[in-house]
Structure 1
Amino acid sequence: MDAIVFGATGFIGRSLVAELLTRGLRVAAAVRKDTLTPWLTSQGVDTAGLEIVTADITRPLSGLPEARDVYNAAARFAFGLGAEEARATNVTGALHVLEWAAALPGLRRLVHISGYRVSAADGPADYAALGAYEASKSEADLAVRTRARELGVPLTIANPSTVIGPGQYVGLASLVEDLWRGRLPALPGSRDTFLPITTIDYFARFLAEVPSAPAGEHYWVLDDSTPLLPDLIRTVAEHTGVRAPRRTVPAGLLRRLPPKLTGADPETLSFLSNDRYPTASARAFAASAGLEMPPAADALREWADDLVAARFGGASPWLRPYGFHAVAGSRTWVTGERQHPAHVLLHGLPMNADLWAPLAALLPGPVLAPDLPGLGRSAATDRPVDAWLADLLSPVSTRPVLVAHSAACGPALRFAVDHPDRVSELVLVSPAFLQAPAARLARSGLAAPVLRRMSAARLARTLGVPEGAEVESAAADLRRRGVARRVAAALRTDAAERRRSRALLDRVGVPVRIVVGAKDPLVAAVDHPVTEIAGAGHYPQLTHPSQLAHHLAAGSAPDAG
């Protein structure tokens, strides 16, 4: 083989395998269980040059295919590990890989992935002070260097900083999650704390180039231009539309306080320092290989989108592209096609754009599905929702079918009245202004505290829908700062607003169709086609998505514009 990668199912290992395969190399992936192949397939990577082999590096290795380049990306990266558990993979396992590589007749390079905080230490690791993870990485760094010299193994050590990218949910990601969920009243560390990053794509390309350079190097791979921690968090906060903490708490103080009080894992605090790192050799090598890091701020924003889309590892994104965009002066979460959608889907209460996932999978052509302002993952706006919708749809060059649900039917109706040339058809699903007030939600009190405390199971029962990913998503967003309060306020639609929306139905200049569940019928007569879905209630896109998709397909086709 051209290369063998140990730890090939890990965050770094799998991206390295993908990079090597993309370069046309023959790669052996040493794994305990093959979760790698499905991931590579999902990323569109050609696996023709891949060989999966079973290996447990905590034991001496044998029976593996020979390779010219050997990468050890295996590690136990977690906090709260016991010393023996951490050492088994990070120290003993690293030495087992080295011993096996030393016996290869055609070995060109052993690449060992270490940690940026090890500082090429020459003394014993302090497990009590550092914690098992960092101490084991420091011990391994010294042990691998020493044994490689004894055996004459051509070695390069890569010391990456915090590696960010899709699928990274530990380390800095925990701090971003606390920020997103409103659980970060103050920043740990100081105003000069430096927590450097590098992106997974850049690091995988860097590793792929390493065997062609002279052996013996330590490469500290990190972005020296990473903003200091308060600025880093402020960058993410501004991008996602949440508040950044203004205060800092010294790491030394946090170490002395009980973790139950601070919510901080003592092991993570050792990473909060003002230290800088010797990156000159890595930067020179990257330049010679034509590698360039993406701007740190852009990388952080893109990663924040990935974290929110994946619910910090709790879900899988259902539609791409996704991310935060500036709409009417606020940060709006937008999924799907912004310029050429066939359908624009506006969710009702108390949901978010994920409400449409079952239906969108059945619709022809691309869709655009935002979270409405102040709801779901979108920040609130001080502009009217009509101005927000007009700005959201300003980049759209097609004449899509505008599909709105429940409380979103009013804004969608007003947009169709004001801009009949911008949409081909208006579909109102369970239009709230034509139905009885949401009785089940009314019985829940409509109070923000009640909504905020709702579990996904209780929310599903309240709405009369199956418990699933879409309800889990909505329940999670209701716990975000201000979302439950805004949902409660929006549910209290006054009678005058309902009358105004009903009156507008006579002024629409595009075809209008109304779809409701038979269990949640209209309470007012209309002069537009009405379809009832048998057995459905207020949320047919969740309970009867195929029937709703069938009724949408029976209407006017979207205009390509």
Structure 2
Amino acid sequence: MDDAIVFGATGFIGRSLVAELLARGQRVAAAVRNDTLTPWLTSQGVDLSRLGIVTVDITRPLADLPDVRDVYNAAGRFAFGLSERDARSVNVTGALHVVEWAATLPRLRRLVHISGYRVSAADGHPDYAELGAYEASKSEADLAVRARAEELSVPLTVANPSTVIGPGQYIGLATLVEDLWHGRLPALPGSSDTFLPVTTIDYFVRFLAEIPASPAGEHYWVLDDDTPLLPELIGAMAAHMGVRAPRRTLPVGLLRRLPRRLTGADPETLSFLSADRYPTASADAFAAGVGLEKPPVTQALRTWADDLVAARFGSASPWRSPYGFHTVAGAPTWVTGDREHPSHVLLHGLPMNGDLWKPVAAHLPGPVLAPDLPGLGRSAPSPEPIDVWLADLMGPVRTRPVLVAHSLACGAALRFAADHPDRLSGLVLVSPAFLQAPAPRRARSALAAPILRRMPPPRLARTLGVPDGPEVRSATADLRRPGVARRVTASLRGHTVQRREWRALLDRVTVPVQIVVGSTDPLTEPVDLPMAEIAGAGHYPQLTHPTQLAAHLRSPAAAPTGA
């Protein structure tokens, strides 16, 4: 027999709830329409030995399901623009089917129904035209589930969460953050006292897991009352990500009257923008009684911002390595990898970002540190020179790593190696542009800022002579952000006057230096240094020949040492 069944187990809340229950040693039946749950749980390292998968369509009456003690209904259609029929089929009819099936269980301990914090306590049928299908269906379901559970004597607890944040949440508040990140948020919807509370996914599923053992009859609003008001919340996230926060607000009433093509605001989202507060006392008392503590909300929002940017707001898979924004030389800097014990520090060239090194890092023996250079990729511009920025980036490093630089990043790497030889075990220059032929005029024209901003990934890949893969798509996404393409073009122009300076630095560097180039992108200026040539590679061997490049970075001449 199973301990619990989770309906909606493939959803954002449902899958994390399944993982939490399994981690507590429970036997769990996951009710799904299609099994996308198992791969996700496997990717999270969850033990699946106590998991059972059952195929269910809750829009139809339920039968032939396992006997369980606890029932969780996390199923729901959370989307805007739904028809009333589509929203009601899952959120209302489906929820009632779960209640009616739960009433047949001989050893039922609790039905936990997950509702929403904006549900109405008023009687009657909600206004679908005014509220929108999603919110109206959740309000209708809240009333209907309570009434049907009482009629059938089903022990019920309703959990009303606010916006649940965490890795994998890309709707609701996330769309506002996405507009902020891309510079598409000139004004903030709502007012100075708009309250859009959040709770984290980890806290919420732990809360849910504790409910069945508690007395029945209580219903909980689960949210963090310390969530900053919306202008402060957006301001804090903007500061963390290094983007400009809007200074103006637009009242909801005005937004409702303006055409959507002008505002970009979905009318259904506007009902969530209010100054309302919620009855959280019972939920807080319950959490205290079972030893649950909310994480600091400001830090939780920053961590979620990192997750959103890493996943490109749901369009990409994050690099499976620590990531996030860190303040380096006074600027929010996107850093991937180990900031204290890297074996290699990897500096990207243009017009790429730190993701350029992802194919190579998979073949290196130890952790890497791969930042986005200041003002490029996902990093904000630094008020300090690049040399100060690199020294500050290296400040927390406790190993003597190999410093690897590509193309135009070689100048900063050379200066650091010359000034701090005791901090490095080696220096590798990959496709050092200052020792190679300048890019043809046609290629430089293709990288002009207005063209870069509009360039689709396949065209950028052809321009660079590399495969169109996730690294190119990552770079393209950043080039469309305000200012990034312009700074790339400015860096390319400035390179021509630095070639002689960088060449002279080679004579000052005392750490072991190795140069790696592609056979189709050779040096035009000979140097008396160890050099490796990768057959068939061009200017970006990280993307075309990552295994071969990694082999050169692992060579004895470039082996890292400990602190």
TM tier relative to shorter chain: over 0.9
Q: How does the TM-score come out when normalised to structure 1?
A: 0.99
**Counterpart of 2:360?**
359
Name the structure 2 match of 1:319: 320
How do 1:178-327 residues align onto structure 2 when only pairs under 5 Å count?
Answer: 178-327=179-328
Give the Å deviation of 1:438.
2.4
Kindly state the Cα deviation for residue 37 of structure 1 after the two structures are TM-superposed.
1.3
Offset from partner CA, 1:492-521 (integer Å, 9 cap, x none): 135431100001101110111101111111
Letter of the 2:561 counterpart = D
> Deviations 1:124-152 (Å, cap 9, x if unpaired)?
11100000000000010011011111111
SS in 2 for 1:307: helix
Which residue identity lines up with residue 559 of structure 1 in the other structure? T
Deviation of 1:119 (Å): 3.2
1:476 aligns with 2:471: no
Q: Take 2:442 and 2:399, find their aligned partners in 1: how far apart are those partners?
A: 37
Rounded to whole Å, the distance in 2 between the matches of 1:397 and 1:478 is 33
In the alignment, which residue of structure 2 is the partner of 1:348? 349
Are the equivalent residues in 2 in contact too, given 1:6–1:74 (CA < 8 A)? Answer: yes
For the residues of structure 2 that align with 1:209 and 1:198, how far apart are their CA atoms? 16
Question: How many Å separate the matches in 2 of 1:360 and 1:522?
Answer: 25
Find the residue that maps to 1:12 and give its secondary structure: helix
Q: Which amino acid aligns with 1:203?
A: F
Could you list the per-position Cα deviations for residues 522-559 of structure 1 after superposition, in whole angstroms to 9, with x for gaps in the alignment?
Answer: 11111111211111110001001111112222242111
Match of 1:505 in 2: 506
Once the two structures are superposed, the pairs formed by residues 95-494 of structure 1 within 5 Å of their partners are 95-439=96-440, 442-494=443-495
Distance 1:20 1:494, change over 3 A: closer
TM-score, normalised to structure 2's length?
0.98
Q: In structure 2, how many angstroms separate the alpha carbons of the residues matched to 1:447 and 1:471? A: 17
- CA offset digits 1:203-237 (Å, max 9, x no partner): 00000011112212220000011000000000100
CA distance in 2, matches of 1:438, 1:92: 64
Letter in 2 for 1:124: H
- Please say if residues 328 and 389 of structure 2, whose CA atoms lie closer than 8 Å, have aligned partners that are also in contact: yes
Deviations 1:130-182 (CA, angstroms, capped at 9, x unpaired): 00000000010011011111111100000000000000000000000000000
| Aligned counterparts, 1:23-102, within 5 A | 23-102=24-103
> 1:186, 1:248 within 8 Å by CA — same for their partners in 2?
yes
Separation in 2, partners of 1:275, 1:282: 17
Describe the SS at the equivalent of 1:515.
strand
Which secondary structure does the structure 1 equivalent of 2:494 belong to?
A: coil
Mapped to 2, the partners of 1:387 and 1:340 lie a distance apart of: 20
How far apart are the structure 1 equivalents of 2:19 and 2:305?
23
Tell me the amino acid that sits aligned with residue 426 of structure 1. Answer: L
Whole-angstrom distance in 2 between the partners of 1:446 and 1:519: 20
Distance 1:494 1:549 in 2: 27
Q: Which runs of 5+ in 2 are unaligned?
A: none
Runs of 4+ displaced beyond 4 Å: none
Change (3 A) 1:406 1:356: same
Residues 317-360 of structure 1 deviation map (CA, whole Å, 9 limit, x = unaligned): 12321000010000000000010100110000000000001111
SS for the counterpart of 1:59 is: coil
1:36-70 CA-to-partner distances (Å, cap 9, x unmatched) read 11111111211111111111101011111011010
C-alpha distance in structure 2 between counterparts of 1:478 and 1:522, whole Å: 28
The corresponding residue for 1:3 is 4
Residues 227-279 of structure 1: per-residue CA shift (max 9 Å, x gap): 00000000100101100000000111111111111101000001000100011
Matches of 1:156 and 1:513 in 2, distance apart? 65
Quickly say closer, same or farther: Cα 1:441–1:114, change in 2 above 3 A.
farther
Q: Give the CA deviation at 1:312.
A: 0.5
1:403-431 deviation per Cα after TM superposition (whole angstroms, max 9, x unaligned):
10000001001100001111111000001
Unaligned runs of 5+ in 1: none
- Matched-pair contact (CA < 8 Å) for 1:441–1:462: no
Question: For 1:366-406, what per-residue CA distance to the aligned partner results, in whole angstroms no more than 9, with x for missing partners?
Answer: 10000000000000012010000000001111111111000
- Give the letter for the 2:24 counterpart: R
Using the TM superposition, give the Cα deviation of residue 445 of structure 1 relative to its aligned residue in structure 2, in angstroms: 4.7
Mapped to 1, the partners of 2:497 and 2:128 lie a distance apart of 68
Q: Does structure 1 conserve the Cα–Cα contact (< 8 Å) formed by 2:519 and 2:534?
A: yes
Question: C-alpha distance in 2, partners of 1:407/1:512?
Answer: 17
Q: 1:88 to 1:292 in 2, by over 3 A?
A: same
8 A Cα contact 1:70 1:111, kept in partner: yes
What number of residue pairs does the alignment pair up?
Answer: 561
Q: CA 1:263–1:19 in 2, change beyond 3 Å: closer, same or farther?
A: same
**Are the structure 2 counterparts of residues 488 and 542 from structure 1 closer, same or farther at C-alpha, using a change threshold of 3 Å?**
same
Is the Cα contact below 8 Å between 2:443 and 2:463 reproduced in 1?
no
- What is the SS of the residue equivalent to 1:492? helix
Look up the SS of the partner of 1:531 in the other structure: strand
The letter of the residue matching 1:333 is W
Report the CA distance between 1:443 and its aligned residue. Answer: 4.4
Moved more, 527-536 or 500-509: 527-536
Following superposition, the deviation at residue 123 of structure 1 comes to: 1.9
Find the partner of 1:558 among 552, 557, 560: 560
Distance 2:214 2:550 in 1: 57
**Would you say the 8 A contact 1:161–1:198 is kept in 2?**
yes
Cα distance in 2 between the residues matched to 1:388 and 1:495: 22
Secondary structure at the residue paired with 1:333?
A: strand
Give the Cα separation in 2 of the matches to 1:23 and 1:319.
25
For residues 10-49 of structure 1, give each alpha carbon's deviation from its aligned partner in whole angstroms, at most 9, with x where no partner exists: 0000111111111111111001111111111111211111
Amino acid at match of 2:513: V
Aligned equivalents of 2:365 and 2:442: distance in 1?
33
Q: Distance in 2 between matches of 1:167 and 1:440?
A: 43
Aligned residue in 2 for 1:539? 540
Is the 8 Å Cα contact of residues 191 and 250 (structure 2) preserved in structure 1?
Answer: yes
Contact persistence 1:4–1:71 (CA under 8 A)? yes
Query: Which stretch has the larger CA shift, 111-120 or 330-339?
Result: 111-120
